[in-house]
Amino acid sequence: MKLIFEKGTPGRGLSLMPECDVPEVRLDSERSTPLHLPHVSENELTRHYTALCKRLFGVNDGFYPLGSCTMKYNPKIDEDMAALPGFTSVHPLQPAETVQGSLEALHLLGEELGEIFGMDTVSFQPAAGAHGELTGVLLIKAYHLDRGDTARTKIIVPDSAHGTNPATAAMCGFQVVNIPSAPDGCVDLDALRAAVGPDTAGLMLTNPNTVGIFDKNSLEITKIVHDAGGLCYYDGANLNAVMGVVRPGDMGFDCIHSNLHKTFATPHGGGGPGAGAVGCKDFLRKYMPAPLIVRTSGGFGYEYPEKSIGRVKMFNGNFSVCIKALTYVLTLGKAGIPEAAMNAVLNANYMMSRLKSKFEMAYDEICMHEFVMTLVGLHKDTGVSALDIAKGMLDNNLHPPTMYFPLIVHEALMVEPCETESKELMDEVCDIYLKLYEQAYSDPQSLHDAPTRTPVRRLDEVGAARNMILRYKFE
């Protein structure tokens, strides 16, 4: 397929700009080469993007079970509310008294999410999950330094954590202490006890962790860390399995982030705006990013916490994402939120129990919102890898699950059906997964050759990563 720059002909195109009616001013430093803009008609432009669109696959096309990503269907009413002119036509530099509705919406969302998190204060500044982690761990750092405790230089991160956790700790200047998981997929408590000490700043726990297991020892974990003088960070990017059922704050965690673009109804992927809402207990409030939105005598306004770590993003973060989250929370309500969580868990366990008849599970435990299969045995028997099975799925019009993640499971396929899929669809998908398993034994070559029905066949992934071509070379 040609790029848009390779289509059209010079001079073609539609300009809706009126004749210039003010004096032209030339810039001091002008470009030495002409600007490369596509010269295409509206018709060509529309066809180009429609053709690209047809090659895409998204949640609106079909089953999209990317584990660790919570690619659920997001109700369209959330988009409608975020598009209301009252929300889209205001500017964050307007005086607070002229944007009371928007401030009230953020304040209300803070209260609702605070309730779900079990936290006292919530900030919406962070733009994504990893950004929320950065903010949360900076709160932990500020807390220790404020007390004059400079010896706490280490953050403990279990090996089942999301990869952003150790990266965040390192970005905040901490040394990362990695501890192993026990055979049941939970944190190894003895390893944790051995790791904590006067140099422990805190622990970051992804829960449910990246193998889809809820750590049953959460209370013990936070106690061990607190007894050593550290604080506890909860990575709640995917709260889909636990929202409204258990609260991280009640498990002893001091701060948390949650991805509004996974759990709370903003579609994600493709780099669109997200939000990594950060919640904390009262004793950390004074370090929160400034400003916080608070109730005032006359309505709503801004508060600048006394020892704030500063701003982490302009204004109030990605505001429209917050409106979607608020709409989602209010439409589901107190009964609907835990119901969605329980259905997410039910769906994952349903698929896992059907697939267990053939596929080996990495952890044969009741899972949360996702489960991980290990295809090591199948690979040994047939030569067919997790990658081959994933490519075979493409030929069956299925988007594959997450592959080769988490790193602690070999030949991993990680499936997260979400609560928004029906039993009929999951049955169809399970039938195809099981058929592919059989095919690995009966005709392994066909899976090495897959995909055969997609616009491109196998890509040279190593080549693409090593020799990145990120710029288009104009002739």
Ligand X SMILES: *Cc1c(COP(=O)(O)O)cnc(C)c1O
- Is 162 or 281 the residue whose CB approaches ligand X more closely? 162
Single out the segment in contact with ligand X by CB under 6 A; choices: 126-134, 174-182, 342-350, 354-362.
126-134
Single out the segment in contact with ligand X by CB under 6 A; choices: 5-13, 127-135, 240-248, 389-397.
127-135
Q: Which of 248, 274, 317, 400 binds ligand X (CB under 6 A)?
A: 274
Show the tokens assigned to 471.
């710029």
Count of residues touching ligand X (by CB under 6 A)? 13
Considering only residues 13 to 72 of the shown chain, the ones binding ligand X according to CB under 6 A are: 68
Single out the segment in contact with ligand X by CB under 6 A; choices: 8-16, 100-108, 125-133, 354-362.
125-133
- Is 130 or 447 the residue whose CB approaches ligand X more closely? 130
CA distance 120 to 218: 20
User: For residue 75, with 0-12 CB atoms within 10 Å meaning exposed, 13-18 middle and 19 or more buried, which class applies?
Assistant: middle
CA distance 345 to 366: 9
- Is residue 238 close enough to count as binding ligand X by CB under 6 A? yes
> Smallest distance from the beta carbon of 317 to ligand X, in angstroms?
13
Single out the segment in contact with ligand X by CB under 6 A; choices: 82-90, 106-114, 116-124, 232-240.
232-240
> Smallest distance from the beta carbon of 208 to ligand X, in angstroms?
9
- Is residue 129 close enough to count as binding ligand X by CB under 6 A? yes
Q: Which long-range contacts (CB under 8 A, 24 or more apart) does 187-194 make?
A: 187/158, 187/160, 187/215, 187/217, 187/221, 189/217, 189/220, 189/221, 189/224, 192/156, 192/221, 192/224, 192/225, 193/224
Considering only residues 252 to 271 of the shown chain, the ones binding ligand X according to CB under 6 A are: 259
- Is residue 164 close enough to count as binding ligand X by CB under 6 A? yes
Q: Which of 135, 181, 206, 263 binds ligand X (CB under 6 A)?
A: 206
> Smallest distance from the beta carbon of 159 to ligand X, in angstroms?
14
Single out the segment in contact with ligand X by CB under 6 A; choices: 101-109, 180-188, 231-239, 370-378.
231-239
Q: Report the residue number whose CB is nearest to ligand X.
A: 129
Within the chain, what is the greatest distance between any pair of CA atoms? 76
User: For residue 444, with 0-12 CB atoms within 10 Å meaning exposed, 13-18 middle and 19 or more buried, which class applies?
Assistant: middle
Give, for 279, the enclosing helix (H) or strand (E): strand 276-280
- Is residue 235 close enough to count as binding ligand X by CB under 6 A? yes
> Smallest distance from the beta carbon of 276 to ligand X, in angstroms?
6
CA distance 353 to 350: 5
Single out the segment in contact with ligand X by CB under 6 A; choices: 217-225, 233-241, 311-319, 332-340.
233-241
User: For residue 194, with 0-12 CB atoms within 10 Å meaning exposed, 13-18 middle and 19 or more buried, which class applies?
Assistant: exposed
Single out the segment in contact with ligand X by CB under 6 A; choices: 48-56, 195-203, 235-243, 299-307.
235-243
> Smallest distance from the beta carbon of 25 to ligand X, in angstroms?
42
Q: How many C-alpha atoms does 25 have within 13 Å on its Cβ side?
A: 3
Q: Which of 116, 119, 128, 362 binds ligand X (CB under 6 A)?
A: 128
Q: Are strands 175-179 and 371-374 parallel, antiparallel or unpaired?
A: unpaired
- Is 74 or 206 the residue whose CB approaches ligand X more closely? 206
Q: DSSP labels for 93-124?
A: TS-GGG-HHHHHHHHHHHHHHHHHHT-SEEE-
- Is residue 130 close enough to count as binding ligand X by CB under 6 A? yes
Q: How far is residue 241 from each of residues 254, 265, 279, 280, 366, measured CA to CA in Å?
A: 20, 14, 18, 21, 12
- Is 131 or 144 the residue whose CB approaches ligand X more closely? 131
Q: How far is residue 334 from each of residues 251, 323, 421, measured CA to CA in Å?
A: 20, 18, 21
Q: Which residues bind ligand X (CB under 6 A)?
A: 68, 128-130, 162, 164, 206, 235, 237-238, 259, 274, 276
